[in-house]
Amino acid sequence: MPHAAVNGVELYYEVTGDGYPLVFSHEFAGDYRSWDPQVSFFTRLYRCITYCHRGFPPSSVPDDPAAYSQEAAVEDLRALLDHLGIQQAHIVGLSMGGNVALNLALRHPERCRSIVVAGTGSGTTDRERFEKDLQSSIDLLITRGMRAFADVYTLGAARLPFKRKDPKGWAEFREQFAQHSALGSARTLQGVQIRRPIVFALKEQLNHLRVPTLVLIGDEDEPCVDPAVFLRREIASSGLVVIPQSGHTINLEEPALFNQAVLDFIRMVEAGRWATRAAVTTALLPDAR
């Protein structure tokens, strides 16, 4: 099993196919297996890299709470690229992985040919409810374990469209989630989810970002809708795709739509046709009086 020793942990990863590198960064409820529909599609054209974040077996699960942060997750991905000898790649991230992709582009833009930021921004709005729900999740993980937590978490409002449309796929997703580490999941909630800055706090940095960016959202993923629109407005090199009647797990829920949107985006980037908008200022607006 291939592992990369990075930043004091061992990251499990898989490489499939040949060509320009395309790296996938998973969500909190997923792991490297969550990208199977994307790997099967994109490996025809690209060298696909999937991996597990720290805290997600077969990667290391540190016991120390201080080992978990969004900063560590971003630097883990950068170090994984170094380990694989990749100077630049297309980066695709969902939810927590979308935050990693976005922040890698903010800190190390030279490593990103493009980024896909999908289902990202939970906790940006209705912060009090978000933190309360996370604490309840941590308590459930500690007291009842991973499987009981997975049974509850996968029935959240943003997961129900997946269950409604593809009950077999949803059941497989729930079973894979139940195999995660309760300790690693609790530490991730404590160190990454609660402590990371909200999307709205990144405005100044986003205004300077010029890495080609595709923002993807399911319209029933309510906590991420406003952050997605905000990202589209603040990143001059971005575009927004909304998948209708879809929730949080859009890469599994609607793999064909997700894959085609990402492929079209990457092809535009590689052709040099993905635009960067000029900044809009009040001085450029017509006088409405």
Residue with structure tokens 């990749």? 86
Q: Is the pLDDT of residue 184 over 80?
A: yes
Strands 238-243 and 47-51: unpaired
pLDDT tens, position by position, 104-139: 999 999 999 999 999 999 999 999 999 999 999 999
Contact 51, 59 (CB under 8 A): yes
Query: What pLDDT is attached to residue 251?
Result: 98
- Note if the pTM is more than 0.85: yes
Cβ burial of 20 (10 Å; 0-12, 13-18, 19+) is: middle
Residue 157, Cα to own-chain centre: how many angstroms? 19
| Cβ atoms < 10 Å from Cβ of 235 | 27
Domains and CATH numbers, the chain: 3-284 (3.40.50.1820)
What is the DSSP code (8-state) at residue 258? Answer: H
Mean pLDDT (whole number) for 191-216: 97
pLDDT tens, position by position, 146-165: 999 999 999 999 999 999 99
